[in-house]
Structure 1
């Protein structure tokens, strides 16, 4: 868990420094910075969803993930929670977007083969090199995101701790399910959501309910074996 804790600390430090730097950035710069981050997110997402090899699995995961998220009203519940957190932690700092900062940082830091493979390596082999590389990237990313979007970015440390820590602790149990195919499709789905995130940041009025799509990221764990079984029968 050493590398996971280091990653969390890097996000907290980077996010805090970025949040403090936000006060020095002129408000007139905010829009162009946000759109720049949107462009970067689209690039990251396009690079990531090329990891997938099966369009059908992507489509099924997105459809059923959206149905689950909409049924559970994840976006609405999260918005209410974010509003309360913003009033408590960022109520006196002027214009802020707690939810956008949290979602942006969480998706960017919790999606990708580096998360899964790095955590599996740490849990199974004690090899933390990949997670330490991710730690450096996350610390810098948190600084950049928080400088534009505020304190919500810092709270992305929580899902990073839960996902990476969970995989590390349960690596022996999860390894048979997190095959190369599954990890690739999970990365593909998550990266497509990052593209959606970039569109939200770049296009005024675009409001994709990305939190309602979040369950789709984990559905390849179930869909891939079912798909392989069906194609095997055919």
Structure 2
């Protein structure tokens, strides 16, 4: 089901390329990369250890060269998988919590020509994320609790959309190949849930307080090729 949604979105964007590709300064490209994700989580007990989880992103992109003092605009449509590893230090049990989404980053770049075949660039812009699939936080946390829990716990309030901002830069080689490194700062929550009376006694040690919330923070190392 997830891949069908991704294929439909990519096919729709691909159909637009023959129409828009004839515009001066507009170029089609492909982007792929890895993510170093560490969610900014609040409401978890201090005995729950959070670790980076490597994810990935892949999809098509459009780049528009404005011709004005090295400014360019990038638009991407990316299939993204993110995750975070949670470990209960009380019993050593751990679990991976992952999400899949369609991300649309929009980037304003300033390119600085070093030579005919080598440019440096800086970039900034918003990123919009649309959730297509997610792990159940509650069920995952139940697996690392000290006591076994049979009941089906809440999915912990995943948000269907997120907004963040990308900051970074990179290098462009022979006007086609781009290697970039960006940091994404989540501006909106990726998940929020009021524990309250839904908190099960067996996982009391996992939470600190009655509200659980999370924002995404992650590094992106990407390789793009612009035709």
Length-normalised TM-score, structure 1: 0.27
| Bigger Cα Rg | 2
Length-normalised TM-score, structure 2: 0.28
Bigger RCO of structures 1 and 2 (CA < 8 A, at least 6 apart): 1
